[in-house]
Structure 1
């Protein structure tokens, strides 16, 4: 039975997750890069510890003044690893940071390891069923996807689960600003693949509480896929911004992510099944 959870990365997703776990009576530890921000987590009932994986030594990651606090913070029944890859910003240190974290985890025996990944591992038009990309459709189709798959493999064992988030929206992340005012945006007929923060939190908690054998990978994506044009024009309009305009260009390969496995296996019900309905909750 899981009674304690370490949340590595208490940011936009990790902090609401940690708060929700505390509210359900679990002991929760959580990391922030800044020791001051880590201390502030105590106000939410989270035992915070500073963890800056960029500042640790590759040869001896435990050789720092905070090693005891880090070791104690990571030593829980379960761990949720939520470290943004930053690959779109040209960040090439993602795998190194994860390797340092794995060294810090050492030989501790976790009942469950949940690694947060992304649906970026699926290529456009790469679904085997024709109805959407399922978990087995992941492939290294670009340098970024190759890095993402290598990251997932780092933590692969019998107790680990990879959770691949689709595009994330929710409080403080309203998509209306993403394309507002832009003209001649390509790909207006392509499907959007999105998931709301509330579903990310609820689904991960379901996986932590689930008993018995689970699949090694689950997608999280709302079942409905409006077009890019429909979604971003409505999102901008809702904020009172100029909606983007789209052009018809060469036919592009579409991609739809199938997030139904977790519903079929765990009877998980998405709170937001339609990205258009999510807009009022961002």
Structure 2
């Protein structure tokens, strides 16, 4: 099947959104995106990106609404996030392919492998917002969005060696990590667009799950930073299953081994 060039809107040209937009442009697609300030917008325009200033809760520019594919990448924040997101979703159309970038924080630490059916309504440990409630806004408004749940993101510009470097007495040394490289975040989104997937929930996570101590010690050393020190206290965990992403999208992870992926940063 020949790939048809698309008109794509990326809501949130942050670390992921900007890299994603540039890749779609390389592929020949027409891309527009949003940032939260005019200063950021001017910088994006200087880099060749068609950009609009947008804050969640505002009315979307019609140029962004009129698209084949809309990809939402803005991280959740603020007490009124769910209400603002609902206002945003009301502006969308069921004629678009909508992709909502979500998080594997929808899964509790069950001390086992978790898949797309294990999501629960719980506050995110990072924001206090229920990510599952955010996901559910789309079907409630009649939008068959594909929900892409990413594990911890890393890659150029987001070096995991800095995350825990120099810290001490960190618990959970032997818990497995769930991570995904930027290249695979982009690869999965492109595969969803290419395969015209709608209404699915899909995990994005690398194949292997080294321990927290193994990964972050190596990451810090490769970054030339002081390795973190871990305590003997254990913590609950989960292992995110990526089988559906590989089978539904016929996708092969570029960085299936996150330890080897550290060399690409």
Does the TM-score normalized on the shorter chain lie above 0.5? yes
Q: Distance in 1 between matches of 2:51 and 2:129?
A: 32
Query: Which sections of structure 1, spanning at least 5 residues, go unmatched?
Result: none
Q: What residue is the counterpart of 1:277 in the other structure?
A: 260
Q: What residue is the counterpart of 1:101 in the other structure?
A: 88
Q: Distance in 2 between matches of 1:175 and 1:98?
A: 29
User: Given that residues 94 and 144 in structure 2 are in contact (C-alpha distance below 8 angstroms), is that contact kept between their aligned partners in structure 1?
Assistant: no
Which of 191, 200, 209 in structure 2 is aligned with 1:216? 200
Query: Which sections of structure 2, spanning at least 5 residues, go unmatched?
Result: none
User: Given that residues 5 and 28 in structure 2 are in contact (C-alpha distance below 8 angstroms), is that contact kept between their aligned partners in structure 1?
Assistant: no
Q: What residue is the counterpart of 1:187 in the other structure?
A: 172
TM-superposed CA distance for 1:46, in Å, is: 3.0
Q: What residue is the counterpart of 2:230 in the other structure?
A: 246
Q: Distance in 2 between matches of 1:74 and 1:158?
A: 13
Which of 77, 83, 107 in structure 1 is aligned with 2:68? 77
Structure 2-normalised TM-score?
A: 0.89
User: Given that residues 145 and 198 in structure 2 are in contact (C-alpha distance below 8 angstroms), is that contact kept between their aligned partners in structure 1?
Assistant: no
User: Given that residues 2 and 209 in structure 1 are in contact (C-alpha distance below 8 angstroms), is that contact kept between their aligned partners in structure 2?
Assistant: no
Q: Identify which range, 148-157 or 111-120, moves more after superposition.
A: 148-157
For the pair 1:20 / 2:4, whether they are aligned, the reply is no
| Cα distance change, pair 50–226 in 1 and its aligned pair in 2 (3 A) | same
User: Given that residues 113 and 159 in structure 1 are in contact (C-alpha distance below 8 angstroms), is that contact kept between their aligned partners in structure 2?
Assistant: yes
- Of structures 1 and 2, the larger Rg is shown by 1
Q: How many residues were matched structurally?
A: 258
Q: Distance in 1 between matches of 2:169 and 2:50?
A: 49
Which of 228, 237, 261 in structure 1 is aligned with 2:244? 261
| Cα distance change, pair 272–216 in 1 and its aligned pair in 2 (3 A) | same
Cα RMSD between the aligned structures? Answer: 2.1
